[in-house]
Amino acid sequence: MPDMKVPATVADITPEWLGTALALRFPGARVTAMAMDGFIDGTAQKCRFAIDYDPTGPAGPPSLWVKGGFDPKGASQGNAFSNEVLFYRDLAPLLDISLPDSFYGAIDDATNNGVVVLEDLILRGATFGRATEPLTPETAARVLSLQARLHARFWGGRDAANFRWLVPGGAIAGAGVVDQYFGFWDTARPLPRFGFLNTEQRDKPRMRAALNRLMEHLRTHPLCVLHGDSQGGNLFFNDGAPGYLDWQHSMLGHWAFDLSGFLVTSLTVADRRAHDRALVAHYLSELAAAGVAAPPFDEAWDDYVRYVMWAFMWVMCPVEAHPEAVCSANSERVCAAMADLGTLGKLGV
C-alpha cells in the first residue's frame, strides 16, 4: 500500500483516500463516490459513509464508518485515538469476543491522531445499547461473561508485554482525565445531574481525593486488559449476544474498572440493589470457566465497591462528550450505588 496521509478533518476523507485504505482488504475495489449519511460526535468523531464502487470490478462493503479525532477537542485525549488503532491491529485478532471488523487503521506520527475504518454493524442486523435505556439483569450477566473472556485472555499480564503501547491506566491516566473532569465541576453544578448528589458527594476535595486514590490503584494493579469505557452506550447486540465498540481507552488495569463502571450505570437502581451480588459472583464463575484463578468473592466484592467510584466521573462529564440526559441518568445510578455500598469509606477518604 502506498504511503497515505492520515485525514485530519472529515473533509480529508475522500473517495481516493478511502479506496486506498480499503485496498488490502478488498483488492481491486475502486471507490467512485461516497456520501456521509450518519455522524456521531463525542470524544472522537464517527462518520458513516454509503459507498459506490466501479461496477466493472470487485466491491467492498456498501457502507462503513470512519472514526478519528477530527475535532480539536480531541487533543486533550492523549493516546486515546492511536490506542484504538493499535487495539484493532494487535489485540482484536487474539480475542474470542464479538467486535466490529476493522478494515484499516493508521496513526499520524506528527499529531498522534488515529483513524480506523470499521464495519457498519447495521449491515449484520446489530442493535445498540443506550445509556438512557437500562439493561435487564439477564442481559447484564451476558455482558459480564464477555468481560470475563476479555479479562481472562491477558490475566496476570499474559502476553501483554508483547505490546509496548499497552500501559497501566492507558490514555485515561496518561492524559490526566480526572483533573480535566474536575475542571467541569462548576459547569456541572447547576445541571439536573447534580440533584442526585448527597451532601458528602458534593464535597469536591473529597471526591477528587477518592478518584485519585482509585487511579493510583488502577495504575498499580495491572491485572488484565480492560475495555476502559464499559458503559452500556458502547455495547452492540447480535441476536442478544453482546459486543463492545469504542476501544480507544483499552489499557492494562484492574478488572473491577470495567465491571463496576458497567454494572452501576447499566441497571436501574432497584435492579442493581437486587442483583449485584449475584452478578459479581457470575463474573467470577466465568473467569474460572476461562481458566483463571478468580479472586475470592469477599475480596472481589470489596474491589467492586471501590471501583464504583470511577463512575462518579459522569457527574462532571462535559455535555460536548455526552448529552445531559445520559449524564443525568448515569449520575442518579452511581450516586445511589456509592451511598448504598459505602464506596468512599472503602477507599478510606
* 1 in any annotated domain: no
Question: Does residue 72 have a pLDDT over 90?
Answer: no
Read off the pLDDT of residues 276-301 as tens digits, 9 standing for 90 and up. Answer: 999 999 999 999 999 999 999 999 99
> d(Cα 210, Cα 345) in Å, to the nearest integer?
10
Tell me, yes or no, whether 99 and 182 share the same domain. no
Tell me, yes or no, whether 79 and 131 share the same domain. no
Q: What is the pLDDT of residue 77?
A: 65
Domain boundary among 104, 123, 142: 123
Query: Grid coordinates standing for 6?
Result: 492520515
Tell me, yes or no, whether 206 and 60 share the same domain. no
Question: Does residue 3 have a pLDDT over 80?
Answer: no
> d(Cα 93, Cα 121) in Å, to the nearest integer?
18
Q: What is the pLDDT of residue 140?
A: 98
CATH number at residue 15: 3.30.200.20
Tell me, yes or no, whether 45 and 141 share the same domain. no
Q: What is the mean pLDDT of residues 305-328?
A: 95
Q: How many domains does the chain have?
A: 2
* 43 in any annotated domain: yes
Distance of CA 333 to the CA centre of its chain: 18
Q: What is the mean pLDDT of residues 227-255?
A: 96
Helices (H), 184-314: 185-188, 204-220, 255-266, 269-289, 297-307
* 275 in any annotated domain: yes
Q: What is the mean pLDDT of residues 54-69?
A: 96
Tell me, yes or no, whether 83 and 147 share the same domain. no
| Spatial contact of 230 and 120, defined as CB atoms under 8 Å apart | no
Question: Does residue 1 have a pLDDT over 50?
Answer: no
* 5 in any annotated domain: no
Read off the pLDDT of residues 192-207 as tens digits, 9 standing for 90 and up. Answer: 999 999 999 999 999 9
* 3 in any annotated domain: no
Q: What is the mean pLDDT of residues 298-311?
A: 98
CATH number at residue 134: 3.90.1200.10
Q: Is 77 exposed, middle or buried (0-12, 13-18, 19+ CB in 10 A)?
A: buried
Looking at per-residue pLDDT, the higher value among 79 and 60 belongs to 60
Question: Does residue 349 have a pLDDT over 90?
Answer: yes
> Which range, of 165-179, 232-246, 265-279, averages the lowest pLDDT?
165-179
Domain boundary among 123, 151, 179: 123
Considering only the C-alpha atoms of the chain, give the largest distance between any 2 of them, rounded to a whole number of Å: 68
Helices (H), 106-203: 137-153, 170-174, 177-182, 185-188
Domain boundary among 77, 97, 123: 123
Read off the pLDDT of residues 183-192 as tens digits, 9 standing for 90 and up. Answer: 999 999 999 9
Tell me, yes or no, whether 84 and 163 share the same domain. no
Tell me, yes or no, whether 174 and 302 share the same domain. yes
Read off the pLDDT of residues 160-177 as tens digits, 9 standing for 90 and up. Answer: 989 999 999 998 988 889
Question: Does residue 251 have a pLDDT over 90?
Answer: yes
Question: Does residue 236 have a pLDDT over 50?
Answer: yes
Tell me, yes or no, whether 227 and 334 share the same domain. yes
Q: What is the pLDDT of residue 74?
A: 56
Tell me, yes or no, whether 64 and 98 share the same domain. yes
Tell me, yes or no, whether 63 and 86 share the same domain. yes
Looking at per-residue pLDDT, the higher value among 49 and 44 belongs to 49
Selection from 31, 233, 56, 240 nearest residue 117 by Cα: 31
Read off the pLDDT of residues 104-137 as tens digits, 9 standing for 90 and up. Answer: 999 999 888 999 999 999 999 999 999 899 999 9
DSSP string, 283-317: HHHHHHHTT--PPPHHHHHHHHHHHGGGGGGGGG-
Rounded to the nearest 10 degrees, the angle between the axes of helix 269-289 and helix 324-341 is 80
Tell me, yes or no, whether 259 and 134 share the same domain. yes
Q: What is the pLDDT of residue 24?
A: 87
Q: What is the mean pLDDT of residues 227-242?
A: 95
Question: Does residue 79 have a pLDDT over 90?
Answer: no
**What domain range includes position 119?**
10-123
Q: What is the pLDDT of residue 287?
A: 98
Tell me the pLDDT band of 76, cut-offs 50, 70 and 90.
Answer: low
Tell me, yes or no, whether 98 and 159 share the same domain. no
Q: What is the pLDDT of residue 295?
A: 97
Q: What is the pLDDT of residue 78?
A: 65
Query: Grid coordinates standing for 102?
Result: 476493522
Query: Grid coordinates standing for 276?
Result: 449485584
Question: Does residue 221 have a pLDDT over 50?
Answer: yes
Read off the pLDDT of residues 37-46 as tens digits, 9 standing for 90 and up. Answer: 999 988 889 9
